[in-house]
Structure 1
């Protein structure tokens, strides 16, 4: 039983008479010594490879641009409607992620929940095919992208929770880093296929451009890509042993929110290191997200790169990010996640300051690649650190709070970028990213978690 469980009421929807000594019968995780079968680990990792087609192609580079620039009669209005929809999506994620995580901890069937949520994302992407290049379809287009964003985030909560089941203290960094690296690889491959097979110069696959069929077909490509690479985890993903000590009751969302709030209060009282990590990581993760979200904008506005140049830069950055994440994931198991997070953030801050100090395209390329090589490593190490800290029977709820914390501070880097851009020009917008990373590093620096940040015993 975890140190707080004996004095707190059971979560909404369950009664735990006589729970086992770990509070979650049959649960494995980083405390386990037996590794999961390689097939299970591979199946879990491939999901990351498939899911990034949505993030890279739909959300960042291709379909969102099609909706705001072609479907919308006016690009400015399209961007405004799209931004509003994404804002609503962010609010929904913040509200639903911990609730869905809490539900998953009660249901104890992450694989089923991940399967259902993944299929929902696939179906939503496939439906984007029907978004024709007419302004009357603008709301449909942005609504489908927003819906897919929400469901994909919730699926990520279930997915991250599985890391406890398939890793040991000696393998959690490598497994997390490899999967995150595969995500970058999947994003690059899907983007290359979309650009050269469907979009540029009419596309090598010869899909008709009439009625924007080639752009709409990109959504079908991403749906098929995600489905193919998620099937393995649906079949061979880790199972959770049913907890026979739990007497299920109807799941009541309002009571669940009450228990989630009680969990946050409990963190403040007895697990302050957990709350500290959720807040500090949310700050620097906002900066990490801004690196890829604004790199293309800064490249185009400050260094005169055209669409093809930006696409090449984006592909190169993703390849470098995959390599860096894979290598440092292995280092994570040797030195622990804290040195990875601190060292990488410090290096990214220095690289960003160099870019600001020297107005040269080659400097932007070289040190931009340096920053890209560390983004995924920090995100993966953050996931492994939380995995080492979280109680096994509260993993999904905690990863839900992790997502909510990130959404709660997602305004920091865009606001700072806007301020520096307005005051000193587009290139100085980089200072907004640097400052966000620095604030996150300063917030994270005092955190000490005995037994969670050190490497596994050898």
Structure 2
């Protein structure tokens, strides 16, 4: 029972954090900022893009050191709590962003702060996987956690759409005057995340300290990190290569969800309503895929799941490039999402299996950094192929190319001893 409470408490954090990712960053609040708060959508989108790029740079620069210091001090849960609280508070503060241009800067700054600290929180959250699992069930638990993120985002988004966004008079009598319905969505997201984060702090114990001396000077930690990377190059080159290889295909995985709706509407003729319905179905399938992939991970090993998923994604993506009609997108598109979750979850377990004990925070900090370092690949391949060939179908081929490149990069990485 104690082990079950730890796993469920840990996974519920992902369920809660999905509200920030799905509602604030992706589907609702950033759309409100660019369409209703900004003077015009183009300038609003440009401002948001610039500041989220700055946020990405901050994550890339600071994530490994924040993870390293959490490991050294045995304060992984403490810092997860601090970073979670900052995300919750910045999300709640979005309630004050009215639909007037004078509030644009406040809204974008708050979204940017939330974005940075949600990434920092994820570093310690991912590292805690080793505290709630054993070697024989780490894949299953990782897949369960990932699926909870999909399911939580799906349910939170559905509540928001039908309780606040679509009705003329929503829950608690909110209307669209002054952007109140969307501002209420921000409060809902903050409460959702805050409530579902609590079980982790109640049921998951703090990690032991790594034993490494914690430097009082934050920036001196970069010297420690540089020495650590040099040592990893000599003795743990597999880990470094996996971090680089996974960064490539993880960006391809992200691009599938980022541009899926755009392709559905532009190439396959989906209406706005059909895109939303497909998004709901896609999150459901992705969550089920993550659950199934986690069980397979424990049986055949994370590398086999990663390679198999990437092969399937490349084949299905190529089929979408060639096949016409909505039916083809429904079938191949949903099949694509079924393999995204397993690839993401197995990547987390692969790193967990090969990293040195009590170095997980640092490793997942590097995981975040390498991901940020190549986060331009998917968007560049998509837009670049459209520019070269003049069609969205060519853009899909660009994403497939990124996935194939990641597959080629991960194939030489030796699997952890004792697993495939």
TM-score greater than 0.5 by the shorter chain: yes
Work out the CA distance in 1 between the residues paired with 2:97 and 2:418.
47
Map of 1:269 onto structure 2: 234
Work out the CA distance in 2 between the residues paired with 1:357 and 1:241.
52
Shift in Å at residue 241 of structure 1?
4.0
Question: Does the aligned pair in 1 maintain the 2:270–2:326 contact within 8 Å?
Answer: no
> 181, 187, 193: which is aligned to 1:226?
193
1:395 has 2:360 as partner: yes
Map of 1:108 onto structure 2: 74
Work out the CA distance in 2 between the residues paired with 1:306 and 1:139.
32
> 297, 300, 304: which is aligned to 1:339?
304
Question: Does the aligned pair in 2 maintain the 1:177–1:325 contact within 8 Å?
Answer: yes
Between stretches 424-433 and 313-322, larger displacement belongs to: 424-433
Secondary structure at 2:136 match in 1: coil
Shift in Å at residue 452 of structure 1?
6.0
Work out the CA distance in 2 between the residues paired with 1:353 and 1:344.
14
Work out the CA distance in 2 between the residues paired with 1:105 and 1:396.
6
Map of 1:251 onto structure 2: 216
> 114, 128, 131: which is aligned to 2:94?
128
TM-score (structure 2 length as normaliser): 0.96
1:55 has 2:32 as partner: no
Question: Does the aligned pair in 1 maintain the 2:56–2:372 contact within 8 Å?
Answer: yes
Q: What RMSD over aligned residues (CA atoms) do the two structures have, in Å?
A: 1.5
> 53, 77, 84: which is aligned to 1:118?
84
Map of 2:105 onto structure 1: 139
Question: Does the aligned pair in 2 maintain the 1:166–1:238 contact within 8 Å?
Answer: no
Shift in Å at residue 359 of structure 1?
1.9
Shift in Å at residue 164 of structure 1?
1.1
Work out the CA distance in 1 between the residues paired with 2:298 and 2:392.
39
> 309, 315, 326: which is aligned to 2:274?
309
Shift in Å at residue 303 of structure 1?
2.3
Shift in Å at residue 119 of structure 1?
1.0
| Structure 1 ranges of 4+ moved more than 3 A | none
Shift in Å at residue 393 of structure 1?
2.1
Work out the CA distance in 1 between the residues paired with 2:215 and 2:231.
24
Map of 2:139 onto structure 1: 173
Shift in Å at residue 36 of structure 1?
6.5
- Count of aligned pairs: 418
Map of 2:397 onto structure 1: 431
Secondary structure at 1:239 match in 2: coil
Deviations 1:103-142 (A, max 9, x none): 1011102111111111111001000111110111111111
TM-score (structure 1 length as normaliser): 0.89
Deviations 1:45-90 (A, max 9, x none): 1101111111111111111100011111110011100110110000
Shift in Å at residue 263 of structure 1?
1.8
Secondary structure at 2:99 match in 1: coil
Question: Does the aligned pair in 1 maintain the 2:139–2:349 contact within 8 Å?
Answer: yes
Work out the CA distance in 2 between the residues paired with 1:303 and 1:142.
33
Give the 3 Å change call, closer, same or farther, for CA 292–249 of structure 1 in structure 2: closer
Q: What residue ranges of structure 2 are gaps of 5+ in the alignment? A: none
Work out the CA distance in 2 between the residues paired with 1:124 and 1:44.
22
Work out the CA distance in 1 between the residues paired with 2:224 and 2:2.
32
1:349 has 2:307 as partner: no
